[in-house]
Structures are given as C-alpha cells and as structure tokens.
Structure 1
Amino acid sequence: MLYSNVLAAEKRRILRERLASGDLLRFPGAPSPLGARLIESKGFDGVYISGAVISADLGLPDIGLTTLTEVAARGQQITRMTDLPTIIDADTGFGEPMNVARTVQTFEDAGLSGMHIEDQVNPKRCGHLDGKSVVDADTAVKRVRAAVDGRRDPNFLIMARTDIRAVDGLDAAIDRAKALVDAGADALFPEAMRSLEEFAAMRAAVDVPMLANVTEFGKSELFSVDQLRDVGVNIVVWPVSLLRIGMGAASRALDTLVEDGHLTSKLDEMQHRADLYDLIDYQGYSRFDQNVFDFHVRREHSEAS
C-alpha cells in the first residue's frame, strides 16, 4: 500500500549484486508510476525511466527541453511505486560538470538506483535520429568524473552513454567507451549499435556491465533478449515501447468513438476495473482505512444523567 517498502539503498545494492552476477536484466520503460507497478507484476528485473518518454508526456520533443526538477520529480513518482531498481535518463547532465554532480545527488535523494549521462552536444537529439553531434573526449570525461565525484552512495550506478558511433564510427565508439570507463563509469551504454557484432566488439573493449537500447523505428534491429545475452549485454531497456503501444491503442479507440459513438467493441482491449484495483492494491487501502477508523463512541452515562 502507498509506496514501496524497499528502501532506495537496498534497491541499489540489489542492482549491483544482480549486475555482478552476470545475469541479463530486463528493464522495460515505465511511462508512469502505474506502468512501473505493471512491469513489476510481470516479473521483470527493473524499471527504466526514459527522458524521451518524459518529454513526450509533456508534449515536448526529446531535445533537452526538460529540466532537472521535472525529470527528478517524475523519477521519484515512479521509483517509489515499485520494489524494483530504477535507472533514469539524465540526458547530458542538465548543465556543466557542477550541475552534473548536483543531478546525481538530486536523483539519489529521489530514490533512484542509477542514471546514465551522455556525450551529446546540448541541445541533444534522440539517439536514433540523424544529425547528432557529440562533445570532445575531454568534455565527455569531465561529465563522468563530475557524476562520480558527486555521488554519495557508492552503490548508485553511474552509466556512461556514448552516441559517437553514429557520428564517427565504431572505432571511435570503442575509444570513447574506454575513456569513459577509465573516468569512473560503472557501466556503458553504447547507443545506436548497428549489429550484434558491434555489441560484441564493445563488450570485448570494456570490462563493465553494458546496456542495449531496443527501441522501435530506430537505427538498431529489434534484437531479442537471447541474442543480446549471447554477445555479453547485461541490461536491456525498451524505453518507449509501452508509451507507443498505449498511444497507438488510444488513437484507435478515439477513432472508434468518433465512428461508432461508443467503445463497446474495445472492451476486450481494456484493462478491467478489477485488474486495475489489484494493481494499485485497492483492498489494502480499504483495510488500512477500516483499521484506523473502525471505532464507536461508548456512552458512559445515559442522556438523563
């Protein structure tokens, strides 16, 4: 009931332990706190919080328009509703290196388990669009070092994302990855890899956990969990999938409402009220309410006295 009973420090410890095991962890992207509850109920390993989804939910493009306050607030709303560890998209860190350190501490305070910071020029672009630009190696390294120096909980995961593959090629991505790991990154997020062989090359280059971004309509194929496990990937995220599925279904339902004037034909596509109540533990709130307010007034004396 209410929020997760698993403390943030414990979620971070669990994430580190799972990563150290070498298992492949599945982190679907949650578009909302309710989405995080659904992900947990289906047995996944963690929850991913996408900057692109936060931007889209605000009606904005994913070009760095969201603020640290907006992103941290949504991250806190999501992470406190699930017992699973959560990783959040920090874009380019919301400013210069000092701002990056503040970003880390703000996310720690919000209860998140980790974050990734990228090496794009601000304003950034979606990682699977053309026309991206990346900062020089020195600037990218300073961002990671600032994040590591700003961290207070050593189990808070600092992941470095590099977008340089789409700009300068795979060799440049390997060189950048090595520099970011040397700067203290706990994990690596190589964006927009074109093939499993490229993931394998990145795996051979660095000895830290590696994340694969499986996003529809992008530069990479929609590789399966088994394929990615075989080339040494440790975390897979599907950042925007649930948002896309939800918005697609909503669009089709609105078309039906315009055409038919009712949604009777869509009932079997909807989450049932009972399933929603189970997911949000409606009965738990009712029991709490009854336990707190279940009392009666005892009359010691008759009204005549």
Structure 2
Amino acid sequence: MMSVTSTYPVGLSRSTGKNARLKSALAEVSIVMAPGCFDCLTAKLVANAGFGAGYITGSGLSMSALGAPDMGVISFGEIVERVMRICDSVDIPLICDADTGYGGPINVIRTVKDLERAGVSGIQIEDQAWPKKCGHEPGRKVVDVDEMVGRIKAAVDARDDSNLLIIARTDARTEFGIEVAIERALRYQEAGADVLFVESPESEEEMRRINQSIKAPTLANMVEGGRTPVFEASKLYELGYKLAIFPNSLTRMIAKQGAELMQTLKQNGATAAFSDRMVDHRGLWDLFDYPAWTDLERKFANQ
C-alpha cells in the first residue's frame, strides 16, 4: 500500500525536539532571549523575528483572556487551553509561567504533566503564597522555603522528558533582601531546579551578586518601569545571566499603539495615518501560513 506523507502547517502538527533545543541553547556561550507572548498572534511575532525561544507570560494571559490584572484570577484550566494553542502555533521552544504550581505537591505534579503535554519546554514555578501577585508590585508574600523545595522536587519528579526545564523563582528580595533571596535560590537548585530566577533585584550590583553566588543558569526579568534595571542582552550576559525574558514588552507596545490608533479613528473616521505602521491584508494572512493552509486544503479537496 502506498504511504502518503505530508508537511502540515504549524497549528496542525506539534513539532518535536523543542525541549532539547532550549536546553542546548542554555549550554552555549551566549544568552537566550525569550520575549513574552500571550496568544498565537504575539507568539508568531516572536518566532518570525528569529528568536530562539519565547515566554508565555501569566500576566499577559490574565489581561488578554479575562481583562484582569496578574493577581491569581485566571484558572489553571483556562491557562492550559490557551498554552496548548500557543505552543501549536510556533516552532520555537516556549517557557510557561506556572505561578505557584496552583496548590500543593499533587497540584504541582498535575500542572507539570498538563503543561508538558501542552507542548512547553520550560515551566517556571515561584515561591509566592496564593493568590500570587506580579513580581514588581507590592504586597507579595512568600511561603516557607521547605514548601517551595517540595514544589520543585514534585515538578522535577513529574516531568516525562528530562530536557524539560524547571525554573525556580523566588520573590523574597522585596521583603527580606537580596541575601535571603539568593539563599532560597540555592536551596531550590539543590532541590533540582535547572534555572534560578531571583525576581526583582533593584540594582546592577544586586544582579551581579546573584550571578556570583549561583553557578546554575540564571534568568533576568526585564520589566519596563519595574523594580529591576533594564539592560540590553549583552550587558545581562556580562552580568552572568543565561536567559532573559521580556514578558510584557509586546503587551505594552500593543496597548499604546492600539490606543493611539483607536483615538485617531474616533477623531478622523479613518486609519490612513497609521497605514505605514500596519501589515496589509496579505501580510496578516501570510503571518499565519495562509499559503500552506490553502495548499493542504487543495490537496484533499474533491477527492
């Protein structure tokens, strides 16, 4: 019997090998840049710009899916559904913000298994108490360090692919200082975390101190207007970071540019003033692989 092989557009066929590619990239003499995305459109923008990884931002998911700030409002079920669609839409590894793991050790195990099946290549879990808050906002509370160690051990044990990265984040800096935050990160490294994420250091000196103390790969969180200085990738690499996320850069740009477009349309009744800042009809459809989809349709039509 003749076999038929087909190449399906991204969005119909989940690619393999993403986990190993991300882990391998972290071992190279460079820094991995992972801009934030919150839906298939923003993930496409990240991938098409040539980035080797992306970051599925929890705050972006909450804002775009619910119209709510990053305060633990979005449910895990809503997150998994959206994450699966985002992972299917691009052929680059994606890291997913999994907040606190959504409960005790059993919940963490389910979180890791469901997100791994959804297609992510890295899962970030933090030591905040629930309901969590944005890492650059006040009022965050952290759990006992042993509780977070249990979360990390459960996450490491739950993954099916050892190449899936477990990223441990601590939010202890703001309330307890940088030394306590580093001590916590080192405990999480001992528990098996692949990447350490000390959230919201407040100076270049603190960022350098983090990387002098931690010998595992570290993550820098670049939040425009947040608590941490925003540096370019080469500077972050010089400071010792191996991974840099820019979680809401696209969100902020879309919010500002979209607001200006809507105001212009309301005042002028037209969008012509923004035409040079838009992709045209064909450009938008091609962003989503329209030729590949039409070729696939044509292949099986009228058989």
TM-score (normalizing by structure 1): 0.93
Q: Name the counterpart of 1:40.
A: 47
* Alpha-carbon distance in structure 1 between the residues aligned to 2:207 and 2:79: 29
SS at match of 1:271: coil
Q: Name the counterpart of 1:158.
A: 166
Q: Quick check: 252-261 or 183-192, which moved more?
A: 252-261
Equivalent of residue 65 in structure 1, options 70, 73, 89? 73
Equivalent of residue 106 in structure 2, options 69, 89, 98? 98
Report if aligned partners of 2:142, 2:172 keep a CA contact under 8 Å in 1.
yes
SS at match of 2:41: helix
Alignment of 1:121-200 (within 5 A): 121-200=129-208
SS at match of 2:123: strand
Report if aligned partners of 2:54, 2:94 keep a CA contact under 8 Å in 1.
yes
* Alpha-carbon distance in structure 2 between the residues aligned to 1:155 and 1:70: 25
Check 1:117–1:284 CA distance in 2 against 1; reply closer, same or farther (3 A cut): same
* Alpha-carbon distance in structure 2 between the residues aligned to 1:293 and 1:2: 20
Residues 49-95 of structure 1: CA deviation (Å, up to 9, x unaligned): 00000111111121111111111111111111111100000001111
Q: Quick check: 252-261 or 43-52, which moved more?
A: 252-261
SS at match of 1:87: strand
Q: Which amino acid aligns with 1:53?
A: G
Report if aligned partners of 2:22, 2:121 keep a CA contact under 8 Å in 1.
yes
Between the two proteins, the alignment pairs up a number of residues equal to: 294
SS at match of 2:167: strand
Q: Which amino acid aligns with 1:51?
A: G
Q: Which amino acid aligns with 1:129?
A: E
Residues 216-237 of structure 1: CA deviation (Å, up to 9, x unaligned): 1210121111110101111111
* Alpha-carbon distance in structure 2 between the residues aligned to 1:188 and 1:254: 41
* Alpha-carbon distance in structure 1 between the residues aligned to 2:248 and 2:241: 19
Unaligned regions of 5+ residues in structure 1, if any? 296-305
Q: Which amino acid aligns with 1:13?
A: A
Alignment of 1:48-87 (within 5 A): 48-57=55-64, 58-87=66-95
Q: Quick check: 195-204 or 181-190, which moved more?
A: 195-204
Query: Is 2:126 aligned against 1:118?
Result: yes
Equivalent of residue 282 in structure 1, options 290, 294, 302? 290
Q: Which amino acid aligns with 1:195?
A: S
Check 1:6–1:197 CA distance in 2 against 1; reply closer, same or farther (3 A cut): farther
Unaligned regions of 5+ residues in structure 2, if any? 1-8
Instruction: Name the % identity.
Output: 38
Q: Rg bigger for which structure?
A: 1
Q: Which amino acid aligns with 1:36?
A: A
Q: Which amino acid aligns with 2:61?
A: I
Give 1:250 deviation, angstroms: 1.2
Tell me how large the CA RMSD over aligned residues is.
1.4
TM-score (normalizing by structure 2): 0.93
* Alpha-carbon distance in structure 2 between the residues aligned to 1:205 and 1:222: 21
